Amino acid sequence: MVRTEISEEEHRERIGRVREELERRNLDALYLTSGTSFLYLTGFSYIQTERPAAIIVPVEGEVTFLGPVIEKDHIPLKTRIIKEILTYPDYPGEKHPMDFFAQFLREMKLDKKRMGIDNLAGASARWGYKGPKITQKLPDASFVEAKDLVEDMRLIKSEAEIELLKESAKWCAVATELLQRELKPGVWDPVASLKASLQASQAMKESLGGKYEPQRWTLAPAHAGLRGQVGAMSAIPHAMSIGRVIRKGDVLGTGAGADVGGYSSELERTMVVGKPTEGQRRRFEVMLKAQVEALMTFGPGIKCSEVDRRAAKVFRDKGYGDSLRHHTGHGMGLEGHEPPWLDVGDNTVMQPGMVFSCEPGIYFPLDAGYRHSDTVVVTEDGAEIVTSYPRDLESLTL
């Protein structure tokens, strides 16, 4: 049977590891405001808005949710890890949520304890939290910054997490293939993206069955698109949109992802509409050579910085050093970008279970950009590329 979620058993094991670390650090509880940490530890995913919310993991006692009443009926449908649900009416309210939080923590007898916290304000919000801090409301409590606690746990993926990423990778390829069929002169890229994403999502749901459900709030569970990286706009790595349709001669920057249990792999391919010019071919081949060099560098004991250096050296040796706009990749998992970073400034040593994107690219303003991205898992004796889609120019010529 294909895995589509993290088991309750694994979530409980993660909570156990948190408690062990709290004891090691001489802390009585962990106060978390990150929605990603909620999902990682409990399986509860929600839409983070302006309303403050937190999860308290005490060394002893039940995992407790503090937050808006709008989530009260939602939580029991998604997790059995959170046993206590303490809520306030809404934000900012006649009584501010932080006053409720202080009251709840007093009731939990944590108001004079040492608590690790991932955000000293005591709240996060989509638009930025503005208001009193929990540290001001509980002056007798000792709050210790502990943002690293859960983040460090997430660096090395479990077997179950890697299974989910591999399943995601399959649907990234399906979505990319469907997108490639839709791309042609005269088509506006959002339309091609929507068509491919709809077909890929339908196919994924039919294959994975009735129990499958996405964990992230996105347009489509399996998606592929261009995000405006058409023609000269392909030279803008984080382009958002373009008004014109695809034309013959365009270089296209495509990207795909698929939510399986909240985890998503990354698959990106550079495509060319019509017969490539000599310049397009040359730059494409240099980009591909840099990615191959980077992929060959992965392995346990290798510094993240070394992967970036080797990819960048390929570009510089070919005279394209001025065309670099970003590092070679980043960690992957519950978030599209997460530590460690494949950057000359990150000397993190790779360990088995770490997962990265590998996406060296070069960009030529007012002309085009060239970047492939694949998802890579570090193994005991090397690395495994879990995304699979043709990378050669002939296969990617439309």
Q: Is residue 201 part of a domain?
A: yes
Identify the bridge partners of residue 329 per DSSP, sorted by sequence position: 342
Which of the 8 DSSP states describes residue 335? S
Tokens of 292: 């191959």
Question: DSSP letters along 72-141, please?
Answer: TTTHHHH-SSEEEEEEESSSS-SS-HHHHHHHHHHHTT-TTSEEEES-TTS---TT---S--HHHH-TTS
pLDDT for the residue 210 = 86
pLDDT for the residue 127 = 80
Enclosing domain of residue 281: 156-385
Question: Tokens 């949520």 label which residue?
Answer: 97
Task: Give the gyration radius of the chain's Cα atoms.
Answer: 23
What is the spatial distance between Cα 340 and Cα 353, in angstroms, rounded to a whole number?
Answer: 12
pLDDT for the residue 396 = 98
Q: Is residue 85 part of a domain?
A: yes
Identify the bridge partners of residue 263 per DSSP, sorted by sequence position: 260
- Number of domain units in the chain: 2
Same domain, 119 and 167: no
Same domain, 146 and 169: no
CB 310, CB 327: distance < 8 Å = no
- If one counts every other C-beta atom within 10 angstroms of the C-beta of residue 203, the result is 15
Instruction: Choose one of 154, 187, 212: the last residue of a domain.
Output: 154
Same domain, 23 and 62: yes
User: Looking at residue 81, which CATH number applies to its domain?
Assistant: 3.40.350.10
What is the spatial distance between Cα 188 and Cα 228, in angstroms, rounded to a whole number?
Answer: 9
Instruction: Choose one of 121, 154, 187: the last residue of a domain.
Output: 154
Q: Is residue 392 part of a domain?
A: no
pLDDT for the residue 130 = 86
Q: Is residue 395 part of a domain?
A: no
User: Looking at residue 179, which CATH number applies to its domain?
Assistant: 3.90.230.10
What is the spatial distance between Cα 53 and Cα 77, in angstroms, rounded to a whole number?
Answer: 18
Same domain, 214 and 135: no
Q: Is residue 394 part of a domain?
A: no
Q: Is residue 390 part of a domain?
A: no
Taking the complete model, does pTM exceed 0.85, yes or no? yes
Same domain, 127 and 238: no
- With the C-alpha atoms ordered 74, 78, 80, 81, is the resulting torsion angle positive or negative? negative
Q: Which are the contacts of 139, defined by CB distance < 8 A and separation ≥ 6? A: none
Same domain, 269 and 138: no
Same domain, 322 and 365: yes
Q: Is residue 2 part of a domain?
A: no
Same domain, 80 and 168: no
Percent of the chain with pLDDT strictly greater than 90 = 95
Checking 303-307 for CB contacts under 8 A at 24+ apart, the result is 303/346, 303/347, 303/348, 303/349, 303/350, 304/340, 304/341, 304/342, 304/343, 304/346, 304/347, 304/348, 304/349, 304/350, 305/342, 305/343, 305/344, 305/345, 305/346, 305/347, 307/342, 307/358
Tokens of 208: 């994975």
Same domain, 242 and 112: no
Q: Is residue 398 part of a domain?
A: no
Instruction: Choose one of 154, 186, 209: the last residue of a domain.
Output: 154
For 111-170, the pLDDT digits (tens) are 999 999 999 999 998 788 889 999 999 999 999 999 999 999 999 999 999 999 999 999
Same domain, 145 and 162: no
Tell me the pLDDT of the chain (398 aa) as tens digits.
Answer: 899 999 999 999 999 999 999 999 999 999 999 999 999 999 999 998 999 999 999 999 999 999 999 999 999 999 999 999 999 999 999 999 999 999 999 999 999 999 999 999 999 987 888 899 999 999 999 999 999 999 999 999 999 999 999 999 999 999 999 999 999 999 999 999 999 999 999 999 999 998 899 998 887 999 999 999 999 999 999 999 999 999 999 999 999 999 999 999 999 999 999 999 999 999 999 999 999 999 999 999 999 999 999 999 999 999 999 999 999 999 999 999 999 999 999 999 999 999 999 999 999 999 999 999 999 999 999 999 999 999 999 999 99
Same domain, 366 and 248: yes
* Residue 391 three-state SS: coil
Same domain, 340 and 351: yes
